[in-house]
Amino acid sequence: MAEHPTPTPEDLRSRTRTLLEEPRPTPLDFLRARFDAGLAWVHFPEGLGGLGAPRALQAVVDAELAAAGAPDNDPRRIGIGLGMAAPTILRYGTAEQKERFLRPLWTGEEVWCQLFSEPGAGSDLAGLRTRAVRDGDDWVVDGQKVWTSSAHNARWAILIARTDPDVPKHQGITYFVCDMTDPGVEVRPLRQITGEAEFNEVFLTGVRIPDAHRLGAVGDGWRVAQATLMNERVAIGGLALPREGGMIAPVAKTWRERPELRTAELHDRLLGLWVEAEVTRLGAERVRQQMAAGAPGPEGSGLKLAFARLNQRVSGFEVELLGEDGLRYGDWTMVRPEKVDFYGRDAGYRYLRAKGNSIEGGTSEILRNIIAERVLGLPSEPRTDKDVAWKDLPR
Amino acid sequence: MNLLYSEVEDDLRAAVRDVLADHCPPGAVPARVEGGEPYDRGLWRVLAADLGVAGLLVPEKLGGQGATAREVAVVMEELGGAVAPVPFLGSAVLATTALLGCATGEPAVADLLGRLAAGTETAALAVSLASAPGAPFPAAVRADADGRLTGVVTAVADAAAAGVLVVPATGPHGSGLYAVAAADAAVEPFVSLDLTRPLSDVRLAAAPARLLPAGDAAAALDAALLTGAGLLASEQLGVAQWCLDETVRYLGQRHQFGRVVGGFQSLKHRLADLWLEVVSARAAARAAADALAGDGRDAGVEVRVAQAYVSGVAVHAAEEGVQLHGGIGMTWEHPLHLYLKRAKADEIALGTPGRHRAALGALVGLPAVG
């Protein structure tokens, strides 16, 4: 591909206006055209929805599109695809894989889910036991995955499975793209404390995955998965919010609209939480600025930890502030929602859903280990299983 | 909003850090503060005059560097990280900002600013260090018809190092800022909790003074307190970062039970949480400095947010440092106590976290009861 100069903000504005000029019959037509114009994610390469531009310039495109009222790709419905699958495919995928998967992933035509955790492999993800055995040009996969958000809507999954039980656990894992319509895939809803089933258990029985859908080398799946997990944590914790956005927004609204709930003690705590929300927002903004400047710092590791703590404290405060109304709950009916929703519904839902923020995508305890070891350079936890073949580990 | 550091700011940090490493290693500070010479005048001369940090906020046409609060914040971080006993906050931040709010075209103001910027004069703003932005104009000092000042101002920072006091006083013509030669006042240092920022009571008995022309002296004073509070967050960040770094370093080498102490998970998790607080404090302090450096429209909110948050982080970092160092953290010999004392005094300085939260409630439309 020919070298092009980096686009300027003015270039991007003009490209966006050109895109908007031509009428499109449906929102999907518009999203496809936007992808093809390189305005989907401008930091991706040309031909894959981007222009090879600095990530920070996406804001220029987004502002133009928002001002024009253009349809978007409903990111909350396809968060796993956008935040986790896409960056991993971009980094480790073959040209064919990028060509096949990225466009429908971004437009939302194909929803993605993540088949990582297992009943016996949570924080110790590398201990996973789902097996993938080579059979001709295919791999045959058997096992069970759990906590799989959006599996019931998903067309594709990113999957890690054990391909070699005779080597230590981190070395025998391979990373695949799994077709969720394969007859060997069974998705069962897993009801959670909110009453609904945002996530699922996924049973894999003789699922056939062509070797062409392997991501990265055989046995290199742990390294590939690290890229996914880092992106997941930034995706969860690094959401761009306006001041007083996110979990603090409904609390501030209630405070303003219902003076009868106010007490002096609640006031000071409310402002303490407002400050924490603003500081957490600034911290995430600073990480985005570092990434945009091409100098990511270790600060990204803390985003999800801060986000979980804030959401849990604020949502707990909200239920308490509501007093008698905090005793009501919207609806315990089992439903299978289309999107992952941290902020929706009522205070009780927000309080309960936020409990997951310190578990999903790496528990806060694991994140503290990571910060202590990789950022602060403190000694690793003792690892008795590190140099033992996976098949010989005590169970 | 730019929350990063520019290359110029990185260079300034490196220059200040070099000077501090040469003149002011933390281990040498405890002996100095008891030696009857609490300020390090040699260090202050190098910083103020040779490096020019005293004039950062002063426009070039008045003899300064024409920089902004962003650069001053970087200096504050480094001075906090060294608990350096120099009158930077009192002179180069509080007094200088108050003067910049006066009529800088008038010789009385311009001359003083020029001398401060050159490092040939040091000033202090004669208000209690516990004053918060938004408070009423102080009533402690009266100006008589001849322009002589009488009154007592308690707990003034850096007055003992100052040649000139900038004194808010109320006289027949209303509120004003006055310049008083320190020699014409009784500056009485008292035993301060913070050993590295000594405080004094200032007594004025018909002291000769010069009214500094100002359109709105109360606004000039309030702007100085707001700027001081916002930049103090960067000093608190420097204190917190030093305590974290030093504690991580110590726990990485201390052995007990045949293991490096820093390998115990309970301690690793405490340090990880502290690291996250310091990272968040950096974002908050940078936001306040950036807001003060810009058009100032958002400075009221960001300064209150930074003060309400970073004050607690500095205290927590110092307290964790003392605890995690074990017995050595309780000794006079180890410099940690200087950071604890600075952090605790800074929590009160220029408004407590609770006061800043209350002020924030009014600014963002979250009213109190009633």
Report residue B5 as tokens.
């550091």
The CA distance from B279 to the nearest CA of chain A, in Å, is 7
Name which of B263, B276, B283 is nearest A282 (Cβ-Cβ). B283
User: Residue B317 in contact with residue B264, Cβ under 8 Å?
Assistant: no
Q: What is the pLDDT of residue B177?
A: 98
> Between residues 245 and 264 of chain B, which touch chain A (CB distance below 8 Å)?
248, 251-252, 259-260, 262-263
The CA distance from A262 to the nearest CA of chain B, in Å, is 6
Task: Give the CA-trace dihedral at B221, B53, B347, A237, to 10 degrees.
Answer: 110
Question: pLDDT tens digits for A64-117?
Answer: 999 999 999 998 899 999 999 999 999 999 999 999 999 999 999 999 999 999
Give strand pairing partners of B167.
Answer: B178
Q: What is the pLDDT of residue B9?
A: 98
Name which of B1, B269, B280 is nearest A368 (Cβ-Cβ). B269
The CA distance from B148 to the nearest CA of chain A, in Å, is 43
SS3 category, B181: strand
Name which of A244, A263, A279 is nearest B284 (Cβ-Cβ). A279
B191 touches chain A (CB under 8 A): no
Q: What is the pLDDT of residue A298?
A: 77
Distance CA A321, CA A266 (A): 7
Record: fold of A112-219: Butyryl-CoA Dehydrogenase, subunit A; domain 2 (2.40.110)
Cβ distance of A372 and B273 shorter than 8 Å: no
The CA distance from B302 to the nearest CA of chain A, in Å, is 9
Nearest CA in chain B to A255: B366
Between CA B198 and CA B205, with CA B202 as vertex, the angle to 5 degrees is: 165
B contacts of A262 (beta carbons < 8 Å): 367-369
| Cβ partners under 8 Å of residue B295, min gap 6 | none
Name which of B4, B286, B360 is nearest A271 (Cβ-Cβ). B360
**Residue spans in chain A of domains classed CATH 2.40.110.10:** 112-219
Q: What is the pLDDT of residue B173?
A: 82
Active site residue A232: yes
Catalytic member of A118, A198, A232, A360 = A232
Task: Give the CA-trace dihedral at B322, B328, B331, B337, to 10 degrees.
Answer: -30
> Between residues 307 and 366 of chain A, which touch chain B (CB distance below 8 Å)?
365
Cβ distance of B283 and A367 shorter than 8 Å: no
A276 touches chain B (CB under 8 A): yes
Distance CA A81, CA A108 (A): 9
A contacts of B262 (beta carbons < 8 Å): 372, 378-379
A contacts of B283 (beta carbons < 8 Å): 279, 282-283, 285-286
Distance CA B119, CA B107 (A): 18
Distance CA B268, CA B247 (A): 11
Question: pLDDT tens digits for B236-292?
Answer: 999 999 999 999 999 999 999 999 999 999 999 999 999 999 999 999 999 999 999
The average confidence (pLDDT) of chain B is: 96
Q: What is the pLDDT of residue B329?
A: 95
Report how many Cβ contacts below 8 Å link chain A to chain B: 125
AA letter at B212: L
Q: In which element (H, E) is residue A313 found?
A: helix A303-322
Task: Tell me the ipTM for this assembly.
Answer: 0.95
Question: pLDDT tens digits for B111-152?
Answer: 999 999 999 999 999 999 999 999 999 999 999 999 999 999
Neighbours of B22 (CB within 10 A): 10
Give strand pairing partners of A178.
Answer: A157
Question: pLDDT tens digits for B189-239?
Answer: 999 999 999 999 999 999 999 999 999 999 999 999 999 999 999 999 999
pLDDT by 10s per residue, chain A, length 395: 445 678 889 999 999 999 999 989 999 999 999 999 999 999 999 999 999 998 878 889 999 999 999 999 998 899 999 999 999 999 999 999 999 999 999 999 999 999 999 999 999 999 999 999 999 999 999 999 999 999 999 999 999 999 999 999 999 999 999 999 999 999 999 999 999 999 999 999 999 999 999 999 999 999 999 988 887 777 777 778 899 999 999 999 999 999 999 999 999 999 999 999 999 999 999 998 888 777 777 777 799 999 999 999 999 999 999 999 999 999 999 999 887 788 888 999 999 999 999 998 889 999 999 999 999 999 999 888 888 999 999 88
Average pLDDT over residues B320-334: 96
Cβ distance of A302 and B284 shorter than 8 Å: no
User: Residue B92 in contact with residue B118, Cβ under 8 Å?
Assistant: no
Name which of A289, A365, A381 is nearest B4 (Cβ-Cβ). A289
Burial class of B103 by CB neighbour count within 10 A (0 to 12, 13 to 18, 19+) = middle
Distance CA A157, CA A360 (A): 17
B135 touches chain A (CB under 8 A): no
Question: pLDDT tens digits for B23-77?
Answer: 888 777 777 777 778 899 999 999 999 999 999 999 999 999 999 999 999 999 9
> Between residues 275 and 314 of chain B, which touch chain A (CB distance below 8 Å)?
275-276, 279-284, 286-287, 301, 304-305, 308-309
The CA distance from A125 to the nearest CA of chain B, in Å, is 19
A contacts of B364 (beta carbons < 8 Å): 244, 252, 274
B contacts of A378 (beta carbons < 8 Å): 248, 251-252, 260, 262-263, 268, 271
- The strand pair at A138-146 and A185-190 is best described as unpaired
Distance CA B48, CA B43 (A): 8
Q: What is the pLDDT of residue B189?
A: 95
| Cβ partners under 8 Å of residue B247, min gap 6 | B271, B274, B320, B321, B324, B325
CATH number for A238-375: choose from 1.20.140.10, 1.20.1440.230, 3.40.50.720, 1.20.1250.20.
1.20.140.10
A contacts of B305 (beta carbons < 8 Å): 275, 278-279, 282
Name which of B260, B269, B287 is nearest A282 (Cβ-Cβ). B287
Report residue B106 as tokens.
């008038």
Distance CA B361, CA B365 (A): 6
Q: Which CATH class for the B218-363 domain?
A: mainly alpha
B118 touches chain A (CB under 8 A): no
Between CA B346 and CA B233, with CA B65 as vertex, the angle to 5 degrees is: 15
| Cβ partners under 8 Å of residue B14, min gap 6 | none
- CA B203, B206, B207, B212 torsion: positive or negative? positive
**Residue spans in chain A of domains classed CATH 1.20.140.10:** 238-375
Q: Where are the domains of chain B?
A: 218-363
User: Residue A118 in contact with residue A129, Cβ under 8 Å?
Assistant: yes
B contacts of A293 (beta carbons < 8 Å): 4
B368 touches chain A (CB under 8 A): yes
